[in-house]
Amino acid sequence: MKLQGQIVDIPNRRIFKGEVTLQNGKILNIKEKQHEVNHYILPGFIDAHIHIESSMLVPSEFARLAVKHGTVATVSDPHEIANVLGVEGVEFMIDNGKKVPFKFNFGAPSCVPATEFESAGATIDSEGIRKLLENPDIKYLAEMMNYPGVLFDDPEVMKKIQWAKHFNKPVDGHAPGVLGDDITKYINAGITTDHECVTYEEGFEKLQKGMKILIREGSAAKNFEALIDLLPQHFENMMFCSDDKHPDDLLLHHINHLCTRAVAKDMDIFKVLQVACINPVKHYGLDVGTLNVGDAADFILVEDLKTFKTIQTYSDGQLVFDEGASLIGRVSFKNLNNFNTSKKDVSDFRFESTSKYIRVIEAMEGQLVTNEIIKAGLINDGNLVSNIEDDVLKMTVVNRYQDQPPAIAFIKNFGLKTGAIASSVGHDSHNIIAVGASDEAICKAVNLLIENKGGICAVSDSEEHILPLPVAGIMSDQVGKTVGKQYAALDQIAKELGSTLKAPYMTLSFMALLVIPALKLSDKGLFNGKDFKFTDLEIK
């Protein structure tokens, strides 16, 4: 098989008219040849850090959408499903991903549970990590979110890193705001990447100290603008990633969009494409072709080098996307889940108080970090309730693995004027998380998720809307396009209820992520991510 086009030779920084010959899934030959074909042939895009589960799609369904945007591979941390189902969940992701012509590269989740301050569905200790890393399908030790454990030489944390070194597999980092001597120690432990930088200065320091920095632009955390100016000087040590990509976003674009934005800033095309297509292969040792003779035939045809609109996508020489249509078929699989909590009563969400002031989580648009602010509490009949006028709303995290009293906190910037929204996608343990204008609405939303054993939902006094997520309570078993449209509809309903956030469900899903400062809510209580300990809701 022969394909003609303008061949983009990234390492040699040249574009030439040529012909690519394929044989048995490999590139047999690349030669210069005159022709009248104007489209470009370049290596496929790679998402260098993503949790597939956050797309609410199983891997096979994710692939069907991703190839539309020229993505041929991901570096995927199955951390979300591991916190629900343990090693069984990781094995499900690997098995499902193998059923389609797309290159998922899964890591061994290093933090299951993410912390000891929340209830998860499973535990993977250092011995479990060893067994996973023995598997050739596991390419690396996934993000070490327990950075305090590294800084304080926690024996179990250090054993996990040592096993990665033993198997000669990279260790991914997660160190938001960690700088100075602390980041030096973190790097010296053997940790090679970070995708949590939110400022130019943070990224620059970590690059200077030898880390690979990932520019993250997901559905919630958006750090492209803060970090992109590092690329011209540091392109050899940077990658692009999504981290978390919701299904409606995945319908629109993927890594191709970051290339478009970088080129629009007049950045060197070869540097941009090295970040998008080459560096992840080099860093992780991926079996993904980079458009060289002898490589796996993983490449794309695009209309131009400005919009990167994909014409065709190839994986191991197989055409998987062609002029608007994904050619990857649906696969069958068995749904796994872990949902063992009973329906709640409105009284379960009551919080008795006489305190004048309370600690409030301040959600930040486009960020995973939050602030801690002090606000006056609104008390009705002895119960702390949502203050709609001041946009200080009641929030809950409900243990989905066993019956326990709901944890209660308050949050600002969700903007709901009525009703409630809820999700069983609640990083990292995926308990039920909800925010609402009243205790009644919160209870209604929580129970809707319990009845369906997972999903995301929006409720008002008269209506209930839900996207069921029967696979581990975090993924759908439906077609990706359908899920994307359903999610977009729910997002709109949340905004009709008053939410002012661009991505209310994505933001909600991170409000229980204790490893990101400053204030978050676990199923066990309000948590200070800076001090890494529980704190009181009430100011006494």
How much is the pLDDT for 345? 98
| CB of 74 closer than 8 Å to CB of 46 | yes
Strands laid side by side in the 193-194 sheet: 193-194, 212-216, 238-241
Q: How far apart are CA 213 and CA 318, in angstroms?
A: 32
Model confidence over 267-299: pLDDT tens digits?
A: 999 999 999 999 999 999 999 999 999 999 999
**pLDDT tens for residues 126-182?**
999 999 999 999 999 999 988 889 999 999 999 999 999 999 999 999 998 999 999
Q: For residues 119 and 401, is the Cβ–Cβ distance under 8 A?
A: yes
Read off the pTM: 0.93
Q: Are 215 and 228 in contact (CB under 8 A)?
A: yes
Helix or strand holding residue 213 (H, E): strand 212-216
Residues 178-227 have pLDDT tens digits of 999 999 999 999 999 999 999 999 999 999 999 999 999 988 788 999 99
| pLDDT higher than threshold 90 for residue 516 | no
Whole-number pLDDT of residue 219:
80
**Please, which residues bridge with residue 318 across strands?**
315
Examine the pLDDT at 365 and tell me if it is beyond 90: no
pLDDT at 20: 98
> Which whole number is the average pLDDT over 433-443?
98
Contact 150, 185 (CB under 8 A): yes
CB neighbours of residue 303 within 10 Å: 13
- Whether 530 shows a pLDDT value over 90: the answer reads no
Of 303, 300, 316, nearest to 42 by C-alpha is 300
Measure the CA dihedral 283/286/289/290, to 10°.
Answer: -10
Cβ(107)–Cβ(77) below 8 Å? yes
| Average pLDDT value for residue range 494-516 | 92
**DSSP 8-class letter at 82:** H
Query: How far is the CA of 205 from the CAs of 173, 197, 209, 530, in angstroms?
Result: 15, 10, 6, 21
315-343: average pLDDT: 96
pLDDT, tens only, 369-407:
899 999 999 999 999 999 999 999 999 999 999 999 999
Q: What is the DSSP letter of 102?
A: S
* Torsion, CA 287, CA 289, CA 295, CA 296, rounded to 10: 70
Does the pLDDT of residue 332 top 90, yes or no? yes
14-30 residue pLDDT tens: 999 999 999 999 999 99
Helices 200-208 and 180-188 cross at an angle (nearest 10°) of 50
Share the mean pLDDT of the chain.
96
Q: Which residue has the tokens 């998008």?
A: 276
Q: Where are the beta strands (DSSP E) in 112-201?
A: 138-144, 171-173, 193-194
Which pLDDT score is estimated for 242? 96
pLDDT at 388 (0 to 100): 98
b/e 392-422 (16+ beta carbons within 10 angstroms → b): bbbbbbbbbbeeeebbbbbbbbbbbeebbbb
pLDDT score for 367? 80
Residues with Cβ within 8 Å of 12's Cβ and at least 6 positions away in sequence, in order, are none
Does the structure show a pLDDT above 80 at 366? no
Alpha-helical runs (H) found in 78-168: 79-85, 87-98, 126-134, 147-151, 155-166
pLDDT, tens digit (0-9, with 9 covering 90-100), for 65-108:
999 999 999 999 999 999 999 999 999 999 999 999 999 999 99
Per residue in 445-466, pLDDT (tens digit) is 999 999 999 999 999 999 999 9
- Percent of the residues in the chain that have a pLDDT greater than 90, as a whole number: 93
Task: Report how far residue 196's alpha carbon sits from residue 144's, in angstroms, rounded to the nearest whole number.
Answer: 12
Q: Is residue 436 over pLDDT 80?
A: yes
Q: Which two tokens stand for residue 44?
A: 């496929």
